[in-house]
């Protein structure tokens, strides 16, 4: 039987985040990215989510390497967990590896990992695959797409990209290289679908820089700017503006400080001598000569900007005349938290600039015309939309059909669906194990649907704990019943409710005779059932009932 080429998404298709792709041929398998996503509203207490890696675990002997497209968390955040399953060489650009290195240090994994720096247009042989990395422009520096030569044809994975002609030359998408592959022949294009709903072209970083310059020129007080921590281009623009104004610049907030440190060390930031100062020296300079670059653009509750807005930041007190710029997109789900910060900043006298009132953020993902251009450049025989919710994948498939790709060669797949190529062509095949693994503290996958349901009930209804002790020989109550509630009712205001609940418990105990087999378990079960009915009847609430029954 002829070897098959398999492309298997383990995350990132049908959702935003968790990006992880397997490319497999014969005895070789490579992994492209391994990202996380932040918990959805119903995932109470969960820190973040990673892809299910069962398929990697089952085929670990085949894995030849891990290829990284760029340094965003939704592409590298799950790497520490992937390395627990398979420790193989990792390949990425210098900035991507710099960010990953810091992450691996936090997990005590750095010493055992092989990190290999790659460069755009560099070629690499891994198992059955010949690989070339192609520069792409994105909202983080040092992004790449990947060309993978296989015995059945070339696979192009764009990574996250946009096509901008106004970035610096070493950060522009290498359209010539994509076009060269198009001339040679591309079996299948896997292309970023995130912004397929947006018509036209992305606006340029140059335009954003001009907007920031105008806002800064009008400001008479301190400038406080909150970009995405990974947005090195935006940070450099603010450094340049500060330098032209003769201002001092302050980096404040853990993620900003870490990213700036990595970018400075690797030469991705140019900070003129003498311009940078520490937040402790803030009051030594005039307000109109201060630019603070900080964290908190997404309303994170303990970020530096959130602490400034609420008045608990130790060094930075917001006052009249300050201008605060949220130079980032509002990520869905964060709107309320961001709005709270904006309102608090206004209360303290600041002027606040954000995406709804000014163009101070540019997306790193291609709009429709750029997506069409990528298809025209690469001329793929088959097309697979990736990186997006199902509506994004569907709309991108329709866009590809408009460019001339026949519908039967557009392969719309979701997580876990294998896309198979052989001498007869390409098709969507069977499913492999996939899904989401919840990370809660040091626990990996030990929080499931039942735990989340319990947390939801506790968060909505509270709990009632009952403590009761029996004499082991006589079966007579020697302690309690004592009732404690949390998140249910104010005990001082509705004391009669809990007093009557004691009567319910005593009735249960009286009904279950001392000679009853498994008496304690029967009492526990009856107590939970009768108390639930009682609280539902009297107050229309359903708290979790926690009975603690002892025999002494």
CATH number assigned to the domain comprising residue 467: 3.10.20.580
Question: What are the C-alpha distances in Å from 262 to residues 102, 107, 172, 392?
Answer: 9, 18, 21, 33
Q: What was the pLDDT predicted at 407?
A: 96
In a domain, 380, yes or no: yes
pLDDT of amino acid 167: 55
- The single residue of 72, 365, 392, 396 carrying the catalytic annotation is 365
Query: 483 φ, ψ to 5°?
Result: -115, 130
Residue at which a domain ends, from 414, 441, 468: 441
Taking only the tens place, the pLDDT of each residue in 83-134 is: 999 999 999 999 999 999 999 999 999 999 999 999 999 999 999 999 999 9
Is there a domain that residue 161 lies in? yes
How many Cα atoms occupy the beta-carbon half-sphere of 369 within 13 Å?
Answer: 7
Both 388 and 312 in one domain: the answer is no
Q: What's residue 379's pLDDT? A: 98
Range of the domain at 319: 205-353
| Ordered per-residue pLDDT tens for the chain, 552 residues | 468 999 999 999 999 899 999 999 999 999 999 999 887 666 666 778 899 999 999 999 999 999 999 999 999 999 999 999 999 999 999 999 999 999 999 999 999 999 999 999 999 999 999 999 999 999 999 999 999 999 999 999 999 999 976 555 567 999 999 999 999 999 999 999 999 999 999 988 888 889 999 999 999 999 999 999 999 999 999 999 999 999 999 999 999 999 999 999 999 999 999 999 999 999 999 999 999 999 998 888 889 999 999 999 999 999 999 999 998 887 766 788 899 999 999 999 999 998 776 777 888 999 999 999 999 999 999 999 999 999 999 999 999 999 999 999 999 999 999 999 999 999 999 999 998 888 776 667 667 677 767 667 677 778 888 998 988 888 888 898 988 888 777 655 556 888 888 899 998 888 888 888 888 899 999 999 999 899 888 888 888 888 999 887
Pair 66, 211 in one domain: no
Cα first-last separation, the chain? 71
Q: Which of 56, 50, 92, 94 is nearest to 74 (CA)?
A: 50
* 378: nearest Cα among 533, 153, 43, 73: 153
Cα→Cα distances 195→131, 397, 414, Å: 27, 13, 18
Tell me the C-alpha distance between 379 and 154, whole Å. Answer: 11
> What pLDDT score was predicted for residue 410?
98
pTM, two decimal places: 0.84
The answer, yes or no, to whether the previous bond of 276 is cis (omega within 30 of 0) is: no
C-alpha to C-alpha distance for 8 and 388, rounded to whole angstroms: 15
State the Cα torsion 473-476-477-478 to the nearest 10°. -60
What CA dihedral angle connects 170, 174, 176 and 179, to 10 degrees?
Answer: 170
In a domain, 327, yes or no: yes
Let me know whether 296 and 153 are in one domain. Answer: no
Q: CATH number for the domain including 212?
A: 3.40.50.10710
**Of 387, 297, 392, whose CA–CA distance to 335 is shortest?**
297
Residue 120 located in a structural domain = yes
Indicate left, alpha or beta for 192 from its phi (over 0: left) and psi (-120 to 50: alpha). beta
Please check whether residues 336 and 401 belong to one and the same domain: no
The domain that holds 133 is classified in CATH as: 3.60.15.10
365 is annotated as an active-site residue: yes
My answer on whether 19 and 145 are in the same domain is: yes
Q: Is there a single domain that holds both residue 147 and residue 10?
A: yes
| CA-to-CA separations, 547 to 160, 481, 488, 518, in angstroms, rounded | 53, 10, 16, 16
Catalytic residue among 142, 192, 205, 322: 192
3-state secondary structure of 211: helix
Q: Answer yes or no: is 358 within a domain.
A: no
Give the pLDDT of residue 392: 97
Do 225 and 138 share a structural domain? no
378 membership: H or E segment, kind and range: helix 368-378
From 417, 441, 465, the end of a domain falls on: 441
Same domain, 122 and 174: yes
| Residue 501: inside a domain | yes
Residue where one domain finishes, among candidates 441, 467, 485: 441
Domain count, the chain: 3
pLDDT at 1: 46
In order of 163, 169, 217, 393, the CA distances from 204 in angstroms are 9, 14, 20, 25
Same domain for 14 and 119, yes or no, is yes
Query: Is 41 a known active-site residue?
Result: no
């Amino acid at each position: 039987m002829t070897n098959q080429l398999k492309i298997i998404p383990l995350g990132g298709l049908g959702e935003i985040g968790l990006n992880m792709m397997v490319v497999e041929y014969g005895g070789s398998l490579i992994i492209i990215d391994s990202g996380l996503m932040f918990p959805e509203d119903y995932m109470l207490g969960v820190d973040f989510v990673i892809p299910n890696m069962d398929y990697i675990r089952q085929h670990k002997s085949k894995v030849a390497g891990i290829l990284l497209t760029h340094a965003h968390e939704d592409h590298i955040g799950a790497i520490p967990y992937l390395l627990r399953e398979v420790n193989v060489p990792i390949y990425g650009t210098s900035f991507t590896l710099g960010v990953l290195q810091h992450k691996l240090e936090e997990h005590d994994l750095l010493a055992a990992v092989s990190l290999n720096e790659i460069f755009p247009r560099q070629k690499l042989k891994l198992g059955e695959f010949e690989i070339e990395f192609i520069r792409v422009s994105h909202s983080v520096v040092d992004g790449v797409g990947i060309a993978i030569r296989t015995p059945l044809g070339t696979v192009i994975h764009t990574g996250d990209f946009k096509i901008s002609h106004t970035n610096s030359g070493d950060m522009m998408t290498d359209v010539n290289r994509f076009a060269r592959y198009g001339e040679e022949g591309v079996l299948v294009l896997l292309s970023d679908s995130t912004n397929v709903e947006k018509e036209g072209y992305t606006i340029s970083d140059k335009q954003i820089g001009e907007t920031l310059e105008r806002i800064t020129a009008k400001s008479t007080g301190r400038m406080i700017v909150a970009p995405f921590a990974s947005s090195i281009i935006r940070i450099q623009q603010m450094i340049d503006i500060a330098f032209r104004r003769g201002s001092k610049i302050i980096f404040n907030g853990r993620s900003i400080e870490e990213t700036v440190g990595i970018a400075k060390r690797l030469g991705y930031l140019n900070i003129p001598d003498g311009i940078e100062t520490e937040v402790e020296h803030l009051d030594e300079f005039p307000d109109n000569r201060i630019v603070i670059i900080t964290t908190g653009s997404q309303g994170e509750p303990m970020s530096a900007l959130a602490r400034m807005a609420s008045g608990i930041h130790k060094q930075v007190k917001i006052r009249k005349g300050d201008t605060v710029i949220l130079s980032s997109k509002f990520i869905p789900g964060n709107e309320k938290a961001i709005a709270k910060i904006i309102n608090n900043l206004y209360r303290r006298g600041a002027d606040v600039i954000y995406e709804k009132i000014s163009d101070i953020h540019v997306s790193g993902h291609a709009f429709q015309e750029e997506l069409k251009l990528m298809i025209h450049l690469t001329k793929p025989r088959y097309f697979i939309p990736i990186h997006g919710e199902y509506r994004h994948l569907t709309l991108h498939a329709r866009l590809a059909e408009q460019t001339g790709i026949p519908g039967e060669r557009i392969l719309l797949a979701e997580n876990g669906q294998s896309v198979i190529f052989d001498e007869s062509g390409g098709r969507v095949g069977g499913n492999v194990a996939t899904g989401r693994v919840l990370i809660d503290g040091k626990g990996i996958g030990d929080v499931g649907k039942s735990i989340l349901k319990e947390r939801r009930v506790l968060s909505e209804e509270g709990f009632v704990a009952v403590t009761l002790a029996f004499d082991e020989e006589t079966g007579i109550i020697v302690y309690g019943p004592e009732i404690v509630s949390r998140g249910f009712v104010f005990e001082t205001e509705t004391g009669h409710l809990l007093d009557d609940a004691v009567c319910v418990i005593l009735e249960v105990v009286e009904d279950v005779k001392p000679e009853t087999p498994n008496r304690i378990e029967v009492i526990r079960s009856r107590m939970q059932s009768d108390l639930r009915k009682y609280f539902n009847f009297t107050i229309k609430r359903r708290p979790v009932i926690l009975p603690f029954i002892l025999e002494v």
